[in-house]
Structure 1
């Protein structure tokens, strides 16, 4: 029965991996708060976003200014999907606005949980 030996080794390896899950490497936060939080940012000035987790989004603005938005409540799957949409009739995105997580399901992005934004905290890059 030498054929069973590779199967046993593979099974043991699979069980060992399941018993010791990989530990995610967390990156240190490159920013610290600077100044008072504001209610709104200009949509035209948003260059990109960085979803850090289910409650935290960094908005990178023109000129590399960063505003961190900490949602008042956790937004399911936001940290996993790392993408969202918003709708507003104004030229600003404000703390009273709602974002909707975009899930990668089916033929294209599907709407997921909708969550309220918090205030926009100006951030400053930590000097190394």
Structure 2
């Protein structure tokens, strides 16, 4: 008889965990939408050059935004581990190439506690450029 209440409790906790996990993704999607507002998506690419990356930002549980020179940003939605993404973590990548590619694994370090928290497998890099309007001459 004790098995049934345990199963029900376990199911309830699992459902609560799933609901709690979904909320940050919705917030992440909203933040990403703001990030790309006024920009147009281009054709996804497999790699971007390290020398072109000016900065990177983590969108909690959703994506990594790489800002490059000029008017372009690249959005990478990891193919695995996106739920580990958390603002404030450091992104650490080891590669022998001069490019960051969709086959690379990025490790995530908690900068406060100073330990590795997980990793993500990168996906395609989607470029976004600002829309040129006639009002501002370009």
TM-score, length basis structure 2: 0.63
- Residues 62 and 110 (structure 1), Cα distance of their counterparts in 2 relative to 1, 3 Å cut: same
Q: Is the contact between residue 56 and residue 70 of structure 1 (CA under 8 Å) also seen in structure 2? A: yes
Instruction: Give the deviation of 1:86 after TM superposition.
Output: 0.6
- Equivalent residues, number: 102
Instruction: Give the deviation of 1:126 after TM superposition.
Output: 6.1
Q: Is the contact between residue 69 and residue 118 of structure 1 (CA under 8 Å) also seen in structure 2? A: yes
TM-score, length basis structure 1: 0.67
- Residues 30 and 75 (structure 1), Cα distance of their counterparts in 2 relative to 1, 3 Å cut: closer
Q: Give the structure 1 partner of residue 52 of structure 2.
A: 45
Give the secondary-structure state (helix, strand or coil) at the position aligned to 1:29: helix
- Structure with larger Rg: 1
> What is the RMSD computed on CA atoms of the aligned residues?
2.4
Task: Map 1:1-128 onto structure 2 (within 5 A).
Answer: 27=31, 28-31=33-36, 32-106=39-113, 109-125=114-130
* Structure with the higher strand share, 1 or 2: 1
Structure 2: gaps (5+ residues): 1-26, 134-138
Give the secondary-structure state (helix, strand or coil) at the position aligned to 1:59: strand
Separation of aligned partners in 1, 2:63 and 2:85: 9
* Structure with the higher helix share, 1 or 2: 2
